[in-house]
Amino acid sequence: MRRANYTGCDVAMWLGAKEAGRYIGFSSDWVEVRAMPWQSEPVAGRIRFKRSKSDGRRRYYVPDLEAQLCE
């Protein structure tokens, strides 16, 4: 997992698509289908992401990934 600064947030709270899929036991495609650009409030059934400033790739918010396991 690459480490980058996400607006002052703990970098451990963000994962790339492959890591996110492995983290919750689904494919990276499954994660990407449920992805949505960052909003301040979570949306049920969706996984918020921000783009990395260093390489432009999506980074998925771990609490949203964990919420998918409870649905």
pLDDT < 70: residue spans in the chain: 1-11
pLDDT for the residue numbered 11: 55
> Amino acid identity, residue 30?
W
CA distances from 18 to 8, 15, 31, 40, 59 (A): 23, 8, 9, 24, 10
CB 47, CB 31: distance < 8 Å: yes
pLDDT for the residue numbered 5: 42
CA distances from 42 to 1, 3, 48, 51, 53 (A): 24, 23, 7, 17, 22
**What's the pTM?**
0.80
pLDDT for the residue numbered 70: 85
pLDDT for the residue numbered 36: 97
